[in-house]
């Protein structure tokens, strides 16, 4: 749970930074590149949000757990240690785990809630549409639709319905589209543009894109940036759809298309349906759209933006994950220092218990690429550091996380050999398979 919470939190932060970068560059990109590239750059970012785990993304692969040996502080636990003979190492702070668990559960509940909310809303919407809408039977309108379908190579059946409560034409459906028209009576020329616009949405699979956005919103419901992005995506979805509708048409066609969209909005703004409760303030987004439609200057294809965003998405997340791992390590070394300070308070040159399993670490090699500790080239699965000092048993076992032999290679199980006089670790021995199995069995009990 801890690593999951960390991974999601971290990807939320890193992806937000990338998203803010794109948002910040947006006005500049808007002038130079066609909106389509920005629309699909957002897709890369959305996918980055959805998959928090990436290659080489491993959290504390060898969980070299920090020892908190109670034996040092209380006699009671010394007894228990003696009895069991094995001190099972716990994570540095048990309460931290429960906090992580709690955060994890809140996150999952929130995710289910957001996802459920949107699904129920959509279900209720489609039910309402079913109740209130009527199939369009006007032959002229159907003829326009059929011509457009043939032009665009759509073989799927397209349902066309008139729905009295919607303010603007809309399209939904994953495999076969349903186009809804409001009660307004549009002119034939206007219908051509409106229907083409909705069919472009279908051809581009924008409904699927919206699903991914919703998934990202559900996973990162706690992150306001994601909600903000979804608004930007909606705008770019429409901007790029407009672009696909007009293609490289002349100025007059662009003007007609602009006027059609303005007519749709005029109807929507005048509508005395339930939507009259919403506020005014759509002017800015609208202006941007009209300017974009009327813009005949040639725009660069922005594949560079797309690739750039892709590289940054992969790159930054890797950088962040490795730095986060280093932070983890620093934290543990701080704790080690305090422990060693306590430990050296005894006889000089003699290492008194307790001391952390950090004492083993200098004897291992840290593989910064895979984030695992290695010994003789193999990744360390188990360290047996149980020992007797002044007639009492100390130390314990530490285990790495579940290993992946395919990516990390072979594992090794080690046992420490301590000097009876100084109690320092003198060498590491490899445990036999049989010994290791017995020890692991006691750990799993």
Partner 1 sequence: MKKLPDAEFEIMKVVWANIPPITTNMIMEQLGNEKAWKAPTVISLMSRLVERGFLSTEKKGKERTYSAKIDKEEYLQFETGNFIKKYHSNSFSSFVSSLFEGRKINEKDIDELIKWVKDRRE
**Residues near partner 1, by CB under 8 A:** 118, 121-122, 124-126, 128, 131-132, 164-166, 168-172, 194, 197-198, 201, 206-207, 210-211, 213-214, 234, 237-238, 241, 251-252, 255, 258-259, 261-262, 264-266, 268-270, 273-275, 277-283, 285-287, 290, 294
CB of 123 to partner 1, least distance (A): 9
CB of 317 to partner 1, least distance (A): 26
**Residue with Cβ nearer partner 1 (124 or 156):** 124
CB of 47 to partner 1, least distance (A): 17
**Residue with Cβ nearer partner 1 (118 or 149):** 118
**Residue with Cβ nearer partner 1 (285 or 308):** 285
**Residue with Cβ nearer partner 1 (179 or 412):** 179
**Residue with Cβ nearer partner 1 (78 or 168):** 168
CB of 236 to partner 1, least distance (A): 12
CB of 51 to partner 1, least distance (A): 20
C-alpha to C-alpha distance for 199 and 206, rounded to whole angstroms: 10
Q: Where are the alpha helices (DSSP H) in 134-275?
A: 139-152, 188-203, 206-219, 224-246, 251-270
DSSP state of 274: G
CB of 312 to partner 1, least distance (A): 27
Tokens 């298309």 appear where?
257
Pairing label, strands 425-430, 411-418:
antiparallel
**Residue with Cβ nearer partner 1 (241 or 360):** 241
For the chain, give the longest Cα–Cα distance: 100
Tokens 């303010």 appear where?
167
Classify each residue of 133-163 as buried b or exposed e, where b means 16 or more C-beta atoms within 10 Å of its C-beta. beebeeeebeebbeebbeeeebeeebebbbb
C-alpha to C-alpha distance for 149 and 126, rounded to whole angstroms: 24
* DSSP state string for 347-363: STT-PPSP--GGGTGGG
């Amino acid at each position: 749970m801890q690593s999951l919470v960390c991974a999601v939190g971290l990807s939320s932060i890193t992806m937000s930074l990338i998203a803010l970068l794109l948002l910040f560059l947006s006005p500049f990109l808007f002038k130079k590149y066609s909106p389509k590239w920005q629309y699909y750059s957002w897709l890369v970012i959305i996918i980055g949000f959805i998959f928090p785990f990436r290659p080489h993304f491993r959290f504390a692969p060898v969980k070299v757990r920090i020892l908190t040996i109670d034996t040092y502080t209380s006699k009671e636990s010394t007894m228990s240690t003696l009895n069991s003979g094995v001190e099972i190492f716990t994570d540095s702070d048990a309460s931290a785990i429960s906090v992580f668990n709690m955060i994890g559960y809140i996150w999952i509940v929130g995710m289910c809630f957001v996802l459920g909310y949107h699904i129920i809303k959509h279900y209720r919407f489609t039910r309402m549409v079913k109740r209130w809408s009527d199939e369009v039977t006007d032959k002229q309108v159907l003829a326009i639709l059929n011509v457009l379908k043939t032009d665009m190579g759509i073989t799927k059946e397209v349902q066309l319905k008139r729905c009295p409560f919607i303010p603007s034409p809309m399209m939904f459906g994953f495999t076969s589209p349903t186009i809804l028209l409001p009660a307004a009576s549009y002119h034939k020329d206007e219908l051509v543009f409106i229907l083409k616009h909705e069919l472009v949405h279908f051809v581009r699979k924008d409904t699927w894109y919206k699903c991914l956005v919703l998934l990202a919103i559900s996973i990162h419901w706690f992150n306001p940036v994601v909600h903000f992005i979804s608004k930007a995506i909606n705008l770019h979805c429409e901007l790029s759809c407009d672009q696909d509708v007009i293609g490289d048409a002349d100025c007059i066609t662009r003007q007609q298309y602009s006027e059609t969209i303005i007519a749709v909005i005029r109807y929507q703004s005048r509508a005395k349906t339930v939507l009259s409760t919403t506020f005014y303030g759509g002017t800015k987004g609208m202006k941007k759209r009209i300017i974009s439609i009327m813009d005949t200057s040639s725009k660069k294809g922005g594949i560079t933006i797309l690739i750039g965003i892709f590289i940054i998405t992969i790159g930054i997340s890797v950088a962040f994950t490795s730095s986060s791992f280093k932070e983890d390590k620093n934290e543990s070394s701080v704790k080690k220092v305090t422990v060693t300070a306590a430990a050296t308070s005894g006889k000089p040159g003699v290492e008194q218990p307790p001391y952390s399993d950090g004492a083993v670490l200098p004897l291992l090699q840290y593989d910064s690429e895979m984030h695992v500790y290695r010994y003789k080239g193999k990744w360390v699965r188990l360290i047996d550091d149980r020992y007797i000092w002044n007639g009492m048993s100390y130390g314990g076992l530490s285990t790495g996380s579940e290993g992946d032999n395919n990516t990390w290679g072979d594992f090794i199980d080690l046992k420490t050999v301590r000097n009876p006089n100084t109690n320092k670790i003198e060498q590491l021995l490899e445990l036999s398979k049989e010994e290791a199995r017995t020890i692991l069995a006691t750990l799993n009990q």
